[in-house]
Amino acid sequence: MDKTRKKYIVLVIVTIVISVIALIGASYALLTMTIEGDKKITLTAGILKVDFEEGDNINLDNAAPMTDTQGQKTTPYTFTITNTGNINAYYHVSLEEEATNTLANSYLKMRLTNNQGYDSGVVKVSSYGTGTFNIKSEETLEPEDTVTYTLWMWLDNDADNSAQGKEYKSKIVVTSYDREQKSLALKQILEDNEVQEGPEDMFNYASNGNYMDTSSGPQNNPEYITNGLYSMEDEDGTSYYFRGNVNNNNVQFGEYASAYYVYQGTNNDYYQSEASCTEAGNSSCTQIKLASAGDKMYWKIIRINGDGSLRLIYNGTSANPDNSDLAHSFAVGISPYNLENNDPKYTGYTYDNGTDSFIKKEVDTWYKNTLGSTAYDSKVTGGRFCSDSSGLKEETDYGFPDMGEYKLFASYDRLGQAGTNYAKPNAPVLNCPSTSETYGGSYRLKAGLITADELVLAGENPGVTTDSYLNPGDSEMWYWSMSPADFAYGIADVWIEFGGLSYDGVAYNFAVRPVINVTTENGFTSGDGTVENIYVIS
């Protein structure tokens, strides 16, 4: 029997039991309700009313694997949330998995939409996490406002016979809460840092005041030195980001449960497995130790996301990595972004509608073999990541010589205006633009890479040297972002950090510096964020 036919004899039972955690009055006490019945159910508690159209059970008995197109044609589940009070209500939508499940959620896919324009797209359930995890982070309902959600869930077409006879159950949970208490970590950071107001056109300059004048070269304007905590809206609310030469955004989170090794190739390149080292074209691969068992993991806070989670970039096994070699650096590897570079699609973190880039596989392998195999995984959310492949078009107004095809992505138009001497201001964004391409886009991931927009927010600027907290200070530790830049002279280019902001071909070797998002409702166990007294997340 061939593989295709085998997958269609898989039998599984998937049940989602719906429950609600609703806000009670002004005291913010929480009440859990379990719904029973097989018809429309209405629950009212405090200021939230939740209507479930289909009752409590989603039953996919004897379900066969199906394509994403088929999955989105199955009967969905809908529920409506109404704010019946006279104050704003804040809530999450989560899935709460049963501990007795025998089918891993990595076999399941889902899509969640609402009538206010939200669309998760098709995602693996496992990309959000395991146990209890948000599938829709912070939302706001104004008084008398109503929102309707629609959820599809199906067995992935790639499921094999190992899923046969397994069972998966979970609950849809709507959680309402006091927004001011959603993140004790955010509360502490706001107490430790005054939120700054940046000068006009701040992003035309690096955080140390440097900027590029196309006729005169690098220049400096001391009036634009910017350091501290700033704010900008993202897809989930107000995000607070660190900028400039700050040193109070240090976090210790996680540790290596066992000695961790990478594989060195022949060109100062380092990979997460011997197989990926060989795939990259190395005839010999030498195993070297990146970390010892018990080594702590250190991070820098990029920003506090709009949903209250912390966005962290890896900083090595020391609060002060010197980048003298890989084991003493903020990187976990040095590798190409993709092994091929002759098509714009190779700028995507994924391409061809879901094929993983080489660097995504490296980041995923590192996470799976470190945090992903420990209890720390429960604190890491399936956070938002963006590989902005929107806006690709030919450009002639950036002063480039006419040397074949030269196409720029929207990120270049936002961030690369030094090429036209700032005919318009640099304009980084934290919302991921929609794309019509079959590569790049918006993701929910346990680990990914920083974006070029976040580098600019942090104080980087095209073509000049900066002194931001993200500046590696070592030429061998230039590192990848996950933002497409251009397709120039037949080569796909992605933005990189090199002590400033630049871009280069995806087949070159640069450092791999993972980014994660961590839940922080319980705050820090100690610290004030300085190197001498680092924030600790247990």
CATH of the domain at 81: 2.60.40.1180
CA distance 489 to 320: 39
Q: What burial class does residue 536 get, using C-beta atoms within 10 Å of its C-beta: 0-12 exposed, 13-18 middle, 19+ buried? A: middle
Do the Cβ atoms of 467 and 207 come closer than 8 Å? yes
Q: CB within 8 A of 217, min separation 6: which ones? A: none
* 326, part of any domain: yes
Among the three residues 150, 181, 212, which one is the final residue of a domain in this structure?
181
pTM of the model: 0.76
At 180 the pLDDT is 54
Contact between 84 and 141 under an 8 Å Cβ cutoff? The reply is no
Q: Token pair of 198, please?
A: 């940046």
| Beta carbons within 10 angstroms of residue 161's beta carbon | 12
User: Are 321 and 213 within one domain?
Assistant: yes
Residue 35 CB partners (closer than 8 Å, separation 6+) = 17, 18, 19, 20, 41, 43, 52, 55, 56
Closest alpha carbon to 34 in 10, 47, 50: 50
DSSP H helices, 395-527, are 410-415, 452-458
Q: Encode pLDDT of 189-226 as tens digits.
A: 998 999 999 999 999 999 999 999 888 899 999 999 99
**Domain match, 213 and 106 both:** no
pLDDT digits (tens, 9 = 90+) for 73-113: 988 888 888 888 777 777 878 888 888 888 888 888 999 99
Does residue 86 lie in a domain region?
yes
Contact assessment for residue 508 and residue 334, using Cβ atoms and an 8 Å cutoff: no
DSSP state of 65: P
Do 425 and 323 fall into the same domain? yes
Whether 189 maps to a domain, the answer reads no
Is 188 inside a domain boundary? no
**Range scoring the smallest mean pLDDT among 1-15, 220-234, 421-435, 448-462:** 1-15
Which tokens hold the place of 322?
């010197």
Residue 302: give the domain boundaries: 202-536
Q: Is residue 212 part of a domain?
A: yes
Together in a domain, 286 and 231: yes
Question: Which residues have a Cβ under 8 Å from the Cβ of 377 and sit 6 or more positions away?
Answer: 129, 130, 371, 446
DSSP class of 473: S
Residues 516 and 403 in one domain: yes
d(CA 120, CA 442): 9
> Phi/psi class of residue 423: alpha, beta or left (left: φ > 0; alpha: ψ in -120 to 50)?
alpha
User: In terms of domains, do 122 and 247 share one?
Assistant: no
Q: Are residues 281 and 355 in the same domain?
A: yes
Identify whether residues 172 and 240 lie together within a single domain: no
Same domain, yes or no: 76 and 22: yes
Is the model more confident about 389 or about 521?
Answer: 389
Contacts of 532 (CB under 8 A, 6+ apart): none
Round the average pLDDT of the chain to a whole number and report it.
Answer: 84
For residues 363, 369, 374 and 377, what is the CA-based torsion angle, rounded to 10 degrees? 20
- Amino acid in the structure at residue 469: Y
Give residue 197's pLDDT. 93
Say yes or no: 522 and 468 in one domain: yes
pLDDT digits (tens, 9 = 90+) for 401-452: 444 568 999 999 899 888 778 888 899 999 999 999 999 999 989 999 999 9
How many angstroms separate the Cα of 195 from the Cα of each of 149, 185, 231, 239, 526? 35, 15, 7, 11, 22
Give burial (CB, 10 Å; 0-12/13-18/19+) of 337: buried
Q: Is residue 197 part of a domain?
A: no
Asked which of 129, 147, 181 is the last residue of a domain, the reply is 181
Residue 212 and residue 173 share a domain: no
Q: Are residues 257 and 156 in the same domain?
A: no
Query: Would you say residue 191 lies in a domain?
Result: no
Number of folded domains that form the chain: 2
Distance CA 114, CA 79 (A): 10
Query: Which of 147, 181, 215 represents a domain boundary (last residue)?
Result: 181
Is 481 within a domain?
yes
